[in-house]
Amino acid sequence: MAIDLPFIWAAIIAFAVLAYVILDGFDLGVGILFPFFPEKHDRDVMMNSVAPVWDGNETWLVLGGGGLLAVFPLAYSIILPALYAPIIAMLLGLIFRGVAFEYRWRTKRGEFLWNWAFAGGSMLAAFSQGIALGALVQGIPVVNRAYAGAWWDWLTPFSIATGFAILVGYALLGSTWLIMKTTGKLAEKARWIALRTCFATIAAMGIVSLWTPFLEPIYLERWFRWPTAIFSVIVPVLVLGCFTLLVSGIRGKRDAQPFLAALGLFVLGFAGIGISFYPFMVPPSVTIWDAAAPDSSLSFLLVGALFLVPIILIYTVYAYWVFRGKVDPEEGYH
């Protein structure tokens, strides 16, 4: 058998989306937490903690979208019209929060506006991403290589639930990031928030996980039939493990542990969704192989990706390394 290019690409795209979710997740989370930190000085530090890296984090979203167009054009052209409203809302949210990084320092009188843009934009983007996830999980009707539903089909109680789940999940990532990167009262408050959002995140994961199998018969089968049912045991156990590390890290004042444990939670949640989805690209009818571009497209981009993604990871790590350690409250070029 030849190399299964569509499968490899599905794995790469999944990796890009996961990288996006955990990386932009924490900087969106910092934005979501803005309203809880009314003091200007705290907000300056919070923003400076993510300012050097947010653009790189968001580039994974462009890779996820652009990559989908390149290697699964059919999936791209079905999913985007189906999720039209949440995608547009996400883009608008990202505009507001993205420009706030610069605008906020350019005006005294208008600063409150860009504080709101940063917080509101981050919340809108996170919530829309959650809704998009929910709408994808609940399935998209396809006829003749095109989306066959109406333009508000994405709106269901389930997708609203996933919207809130992502919102609290990102808030957890943001607060654990702040524990790691800041000091003093700001870090104390982040601990307080992290302790609460981690319970909320676990609850949200539980609700969504219990709900999912009842949306599509395939998911039910996947989770309760041998051999895939092993995952139904393993994943929750690992989730509990991460959760314990998270709580003990927050309580025990180990600064990096909560963030890493929260990343673990996200990876597990993502793996859970992946297990439900496989082998579909657009549940419940379009598989990875239906959606794939011809092999000539897949192999052309794969050569570059195998070579470039490791390089990207190296200089991304370098960029994080340059800005390692606690944020110095007096620093920043602003």
Partner 1 sequence: MFESLDATLLARIQFAFTVSFHIIFPAFSIGLASYLAVLEALWLWKKDQVYMDLFNFWKTIFAVAFGMGVVSGIVMSYQFGTNWSVFSDKAGPVIGPLMGYEVLTAFFLEAGFLGVMLFGLHRVGPKLHFLATFMVAFGTLISATWILAVNSWMQTPAGFGMNEAGQFIPLDWWKIIFNPSFPYRLTHMVLAAYLTTAFVVGAVGAWHLLKNTAPRRSRTMFSMAMWMAVIVAPIQILAGDAHGLNTLEHQPVKVMAMEGHFQSHPDGAPLILFGIPNTAEKRIDYAIEIPKLSSLILKHDLNAPLAGLDTIPDNLQPPVAVIFWSFRVMVGIGFAMLGIGLWSLWCRVKGTLDSSDWLHRAAVLMGPAGFVAVLAGWITTEVGRQPYTIYGQLLTVDSISPVAAPAVAASLIAFIIVYFLVFGAGTFYILRLMKRLPRDPMPDLEDGPIRTAAHTHAGHAHVGHTHGSAHRGH
Residues 54 to 93 in contact with ligand HEM, rule: CB under 6 A: 55, 58-59, 62
DSSP state of 210: H
Q: Is 107 in the site for partner 1 (CB under 8 A)?
A: yes
Shortest spacing between CB 322 and partner 1, in angstroms: 5
Say which residues have a Cβ less than 8 Å from residue 175's Cβ, sequence separation at least 6. Answer: 29, 33, 190, 191, 193, 194, 197
Which member of 14, 36, 52, 195 binds partner 1 (CB under 8 A)?
Answer: 52
Shortest spacing between CB 100 and partner 1, in angstroms: 9
Q: Enter the tokens of residue 284.
A: 């419940």
Shortest spacing between CB 65 and ligand HEM, in angstroms: 8
Nearer to ligand HEM, 126 or 171 (CB): 126
Q: Is 24 in the site for ligand HEM (CB under 6 A)?
A: no
Kind and range of the H or E element at 147?
strand 146-147
CA distance 130 to 152: 15
Residues 170 to 189 in contact with partner 1, rule: CB under 8 A: none
8 Å CB contact between 216 and 225: no
Shortest spacing between CB 65 and partner 1, in angstroms: 5
The b/e string for 58-80 (b: 16+ C-beta within 10 A; e otherwise) is bbbbebbbebbebbbebbbbbbb
Residues 56 to 85 in contact with partner 1, rule: CB under 8 A: 56, 58-59, 61-63, 65-71, 73-74, 76-81, 84-85
Shortest spacing between CB 200 and partner 1, in angstroms: 29
**CA torsion sign, 43 to 48 to 50 to 56?**
positive
- The residue count of the chain comes to 334
Applying CB under 6 A, the residues found at the interface with ligand HEM are: 55, 58-59, 62
